[in-house]
Amino acid sequence: MTQEILIHEAGGVLELCFNRPDKKNAITGAMYGALTAALKDASTRSTVRAVLVTGEGNIFTAGNDIKDFLAMSGGGLDGAPPGRFIRALATFSKPLVAAVNGPAIGIGTTLLLHCDLVYASPAASLSVPFVDLGLVPEAGSSALLPLRVGFARAAALLLLGEPMEAEAARAAGLVNAVVPAGDLLEHARAQARKLAAKPPAALAATRVLMRSEPGALLAQMDREAAAFSEALRGAEAREAFTAFLERRAPDFSAAAE
Ligand code: COA
């Protein structure tokens, strides 16, 4: 079991913590595997009544590990560890709470769209720079973001790749509250424990009612996965990943030919 996802259970709340601070908590296949297994296990155990996600250090997560992306560029998203995690998250039946302790990039932000309560430190920012990486949105974010924040703000996030700072995310309705960094985790824990103490069947049924019929979202995720897999195999993504790893600006001038 990887130590790069810390798993801790207390008071009916299962805590999952990204713990790869030297790589800005970028998520590897092994980490996705641990997250997916933890969610599957949590859904079968009645003692787990809520799940809390957070990150170690000064970042929530820098998103998918870009070296892994480069290695996956011969394959696709569906059936791969990120795809399995996204599905487990989107279909998870218990309340999900997030404590966003810093930048949440890529899947770091898209996973929040599946959470019920999101708390952020003032240093948190949400960004989905898929286009800049030669990629397309995942985890249903191409549908959920326009729905949640309106088309204009979703376009700034998804097309321009502009980060949304904590306070703006709160104002846009993506974050419940901005909490001082020192209090963030305890606050999120306290909120998760409140959910853990509620009648679970009523809570689960309410979560279902608050979401639109899941088939449409899962179908959109399939469309995204197909486009994502194609993009992952393309020249734009390869150039973006290589440029990041070589610490240089990407050059897309030849990519559209
Ligand atoms: N995948 C793999 N490695 C990553 C990573 C990622 N997503 N994000 C950061 N790292 C690694 C860096 O390569 C670096 O490794 P090294 O020390 O071995 O060179 C280390 O983490 C520290 O990152 P660095 O870029 O030096 O830190 P920074 O403080 O200057 O910048 C970020 C932090 C998060 C802004 C920057 O690392 C970044 O933009 N990461 C990529 C984000 C991204 O595009 N994610 C994919 C979304 S789909």
What residues does each domain of the chain span? 1-182+199-257
Interacting residues of 183 by C-beta distance below 8 A, sequence separation 6+: none
Q: Which of 123, 122, 99, 121 is nearest to 112 (CA)?
A: 99
Interacting residues of 26 by C-beta distance below 8 A, sequence separation 6+: 20, 61, 62, 63, 64, 65, 66
Could you give the percent of the chain with pLDDT greater than 90? Answer: 93
The secondary element (H helix, E strand) that includes residue 70 is helix 66-72
Confidence band for 73, pLDDT divided at 50, 70 and 90: confident
Distance 125 CA to ligand 1 centre (A): 15
Instruction: Please work out whether the CB of residue 26 comes within 6 Å of at least one atom of ligand 1.
Output: yes
Number of the ligand 1 atom closest to the C-alpha atom of 107: 48
Pocket test for ligand 1, best of 4, 19, 22, 23 (most atoms within 8 A of CB): 23
Instruction: Please work out whether the CB of residue 55 comes within 6 Å of at least one atom of ligand 1.
Output: no
pLDDT digits (tens, 9 = 90+) for 104-123: 999 999 999 999 999 999 99
Pocket test for ligand 1, best of 23, 24, 111, 246 (most atoms within 8 A of CB): 24
pLDDT at 83 over 80: yes
pLDDT digits (tens, 9 = 90+) for 192-210: 999 999 999 999 999 999 9
Nearest CA to ligand 1 atom 6: 65
Buried b (16+ CB within 10 A) or exposed e, 224-236: bbebbbebbeeeb
Nearest CA to ligand 1 atom 20: 23
pLDDT at 137 over 60: yes
Instruction: Please work out whether the CB of residue 133 comes within 6 Å of at least one atom of ligand 1.
Output: yes
Nearest CA to ligand 1 atom 5: 26
Distance 93 CA to ligand 1 centre (A): 32
Report pLDDT for 254.
79
Interacting residues of 199 by C-beta distance below 8 A, sequence separation 6+: none
Put the strands of the sheet holding 164-165 in their side by side order: 103-105, 125-127, 164-165
Q: Does domain 1-182+199-257 fall into CATH 3.30.230.10?
A: no
Question: Do the Cβ atoms of 126 and 164 come closer than 8 Å?
Answer: yes
Q: pTM, whole model, 2 decimals?
A: 0.97
pLDDT at 36 over 60: yes
Integer-rounded Cα Rg, in Å, for the chain is 17
CA distances for 213 relative to 3, 134, 209, 210, 221, angstroms: 36, 30, 8, 9, 14
Region at 189 (left for phi over 0; alpha for psi -120 to 50; beta for the rest): alpha
Pairing type for strands 125-127 and 164-165 reads: antiparallel
Cα dihedral sign, 212-167-35-93: negative
pLDDT at 231 over 60: yes
